Structure 1
């Protein structure tokens, strides 16, 4: 287990570093966008238009499809070898490509209905702009779902770098649109924010193109066949049908999360103008720890868990989950504390430029602090849910997700009139904590996960170190006027406080006796 744990940690580290590059470039694009456009009804319209294809992508591409495809592909490779896996890839790619073309056409035609369903509270001008941008960006779902297929194949073969790096291309295309196309559109009398739609579409094309050489090198580039006989053979394949069967409950589970996002966006569109943009900015910062740890561990663990399941190695299966959960606690706990006590400095340093004013900083800070409440749950779900998916159990997480959706929306009824847009991120956090606890209990009761010894001491060590770090960051929040401080000095102060917080946290862990290297080797 020692050698494998280090190998998995190196793979997770690779994914995390590349995801960090993606998040940094994504943050740069959002900072640039905020300074150019500020927060307005038009930025709300853009985020609504961008969320629509993203919603379908997460449901069909990276969501239900990946959750069903990767475990079956890993099991097929373990039992039928490379040839059987390649045949499955070809057949799945053929069916998926056809479905995506039809879905893209439908989305373009139904754009007015989709925009109304997501954000009926937008003013007339913003609603019309959202419809126009949705039509331009909806084909993005096709490119990104095929990227998810390619990423699932590469991850199963242990090639994590290319899929993890591909989101950087979207951000670079987006930044290029901001720098190069926005001025051109302005000179031509075209609404400047429309230029971002072109950037998103180009980014999708570039991400798909990046996967092709890696797949070709492995001899796994899908051969898409659309003849009637080829499609019938693809559909009759038992493994293809198994993926389709697994997708149905997975669709429910993933759809519930996206329905929650849709409802929250709808609610935000009826609040103070700018609410959608404030929540989007908070999402961007929350995604740093979520993606760097939760997504990275989920991506790396899923094929390993599926392979352990195929070999009926229950002890290895449980040990993988235990290792992943310890890393979640080790890294997510201090991140959650930082979001709670150091949110204003983060928002001020990263967004308070140009048209992004002091009030916007305050509003985003409130939303970001609410995410801190449930960050541990948000990240833990990324590790716990694959514990079910790898066993081909999509139904249990789906049922839990439905209950969590009801719980979240009941909380919205109570909290939104009081906390406004910040309530929408707080209820997501509380729902994520409920989801994580329920998944954990389910894995333990089924015997899939048996916690190894030492959890009580480990948790005490992490909590103690986190408390010391949080006290230091809280001091920094209270002693510095972050909004009034000039940009460069502000950035330098934030870097100093974050560095100090890291030294305090890991120093306290070392003093408490935690052997970090030993933990990583478990």
Structure 2
């Protein structure tokens, strides 16, 4: 694998990942709509949100395409020959699989206690049914603890072998199996009359079973492709002393804890959110985060997935000059995509929220709260992605300890900033606290990376970043001004009117940003945009 030449360019890989991730996101939205259509906000759907907390966290943490298992495997396999891959992958799978099997059994046994810890309010008398369904769903989904780790390892193996399409699109399997399960449930029941209690319990089982079936399918497809590519099978290997195993664990362990710290920050935010008198703050935080994370997830995969193997192949000190260029490329592409998008999230927050959420029980006052949180999220979009780029550089250098230590420090900072900012800014203060912590992470990582790589041309890099920031601000102001003009003549009501105003204002903002950004003449951005345009136009 180390001796193989990359068969695809950065732009080609980014296009593959973006298309696959977009498809997965669309299916995820369809799945959510199917669940809402089947259960509304009834006990089955309500319980699923509590039960999925742990399996969903593990799928993101361990099985995510940018998770620590993926990062560790890519970092190590990218530096080794292909014939060394299969024994190493099988050994790692055996070791990690054994550990996670114990975790899955633990979840099955202690599911009631875990639900009570994460959702103590379900023990109230009128929520007994929700609690019972949630416990059953968590027990059904417990094997995901094992599958998540195996999926994460499979992501890394396939990406290190230059296979990007399957890992990027495979998360949609879970959405498909849930949708199919709900369809079967509808066909089976037909006109049959059953009680709401029975329907809730049966629906809860279908939801949990569909998610589990999707995880199993995702893992099996990866195993088949790995075996055909000669990258390992289901064979058990216990040669835990081989050097490659230690290299993987050296990165995987700290990286897992480092990524897991983000979940602690989430719980910290929810703790302080519960202290705000306004009802629905936690839901509003989730709604605003979803609007940011959807485009951020697509773009981050476009940038991070192809860059990590490149970082790993340039980890030798003799290649550090080129590594610095790749770091600059990753940061500039992050700024080029996230800064204008963040500016639009800030200036067009109200129509965005109204179009997406303001239907049925979601009222205008709810839109006001979510849009204020969306503004705070938009401010930090670039630092969120920039931090992930820098963390991947440390992983490629075989150093998972540094990001872990910084994450530990920022847990404390996040709690402090939550406490300080919630008083003057309310719910928005929780988001601003996260943005502040991400900014501190970027600064600390840059400082340490500057020392590690014998100096980075930070002053030279700062000029194009300042230019992109200025272009984003001007583009955002232009989009806001255009929105005000449109609303003056067309009004603020009606879905079609809102869509028209949002589309025109967004295009104006992006166009002005693009014109200014083109004057800056950044080689990385110009090449990226031209090749990406050619690829999609050709398709």
**CA distance in structure 2 between the aligned counterparts of 1:477 and 1:175, rounded to whole angstroms:** 38
In the TM superposition, what whole-angstrom CA distance separates every residue of 1:31-71 from its partner, at most 9, and x where no partner exists? Answer: 56567766689766433322211223344444332333221
Bigger mean CA offset, 102-111 vs 238-247: 238-247
Pick from 480, 505, 517 the counterpart of residue 513 of structure 2.
Answer: 505
In 2: Cα distance, 1:158 partner to 1:494 partner: 39
Instruction: Give the corresponding residue for 2:534.
Output: none
Give the one of 481, 484, 494 matched to 1:486. Answer: 494
Task: Report which stretch shifted further, 403-412 or 416-425.
Answer: 416-425
Structure 2 Cα separation of the partners of residues 33 and 422 of structure 1: 29
CA distance in 2, matches of 1:303, 1:149: 15
Kept in 1, the 8 Å contact 2:471–2:513? The answer is: yes
Residue 269 of structure 1 and its aligned partner are, at CA, apart by 5.6
Give the conservation status (yes or no) of the 8 Å contact 2:14–2:301.
Answer: no
Aligned counterpart, 1:517? 526
Worse-superposed segment, 3-12 or 152-161 = 3-12
Q: Which one is further off, 399-408 or 444-453?
A: 444-453
1:337-382 deviations in Å (ceiling 9; x for gaps): 1222222222222223334433433333233222112111111111
Is 1:244 matched with 2:249? yes
Contact 2:17 2:165 (8 Å CA) reproduced: yes
1:492 Cα deviation after fit = 4.1
CA distance, structure 1, for counterparts of residue 310 and residue 462 of structure 2: 27
Offset of 1:96 from its aligned partner?
Answer: 2.2
- Matched residue of 1:353: which SS? coil
Instruction: Describe the SS at the equivalent of 1:392.
Output: coil
Q: Which moved more, 1:348-357 or 1:301-310?
A: 348-357
Encode CA deviations 1:372-420: one digit per residue, 9 max, x unaligned. 1211111111110011111111111111111111111112223345655
What per-residue deviation string (whole Å, max 9, x for no partner) do you get for residues 130-160 of structure 1?
3333223232233232221111011101111
Q: Output the CA distance in 2 between the equivalents of 1:304 and 1:448.
A: 19
The equivalent of 2:91 in structure 1 is 91
How far has the Cα of 1:456 moved from its partner? Answer: 4.3
Change (3 A) 1:223 1:40: closer
Indicate the RMSD between aligned Cα atoms, in angstroms.
3.3
How is 1:43-442 mapped onto 2 (pairs within 5 angstroms)?
Answer: 45-62=47-64, 63-75=67-79, 77=80, 81-121=81-121, 124=124, 125=127, 126-177=130-181, 181=185, 187=194, 189=196, 190-191=199-200, 194=204, 195-225=206-236, 230-231=237-238, 233=239, 235-268=240-273, 274-310=280-316, 312-416=318-422, 419-442=425-448
**Which one is further off, 473-482 or 394-403?**
473-482
How big is each residue's C-alpha offset from its partner over 1:186-218, in whole Å with a ceiling of 9 and x where there is no partner?
A: 955322762432332232223223324432331
Distance 1:312 1:452 in 2: 20
Q: 1:316 to 1:513 in 2, by over 3 A?
A: closer
Gaps of 5+ in 2: 532-539
Partners of 2:20 and 2:359 in 1: CA distance? 27
Q: Deviations over 1:449-504 (max 9, x none)?
A: 62388534423432232123212332355454999633344334433333333322
1:31–1:351 contact (8 Å) kept in structure 2: no
Decide whether the 8 Å contact of 2:69 with 2:156 is kept in 1: no
Instruction: Provide the rounded CA distance (Å) in 1 between the counterparts of 2:181 and 2:474.
Output: 43
- Superposed CA deviations along residues 69-128 of structure 1, whole A, max 9, x for unmatched, are 2212222x2xxx211111101111122222222211211222222233334355631544
Task: Determine which structure has greater relative contact order: mean sequence separation of CA pairs < 8 Å that are 6+ residues apart, divided by chain length.
Answer: 1
User: How far apart are the structure 2 equivalents of 1:266 and 1:119?
Assistant: 12
Deviates more, 1:185-194 or 1:494-503: 185-194
Tell me: CA distance 1:257–1:22, structure 2 relative to 1, closer, same or farther (3 Å): same
- Specify the SS of the correspondent of 1:496: helix
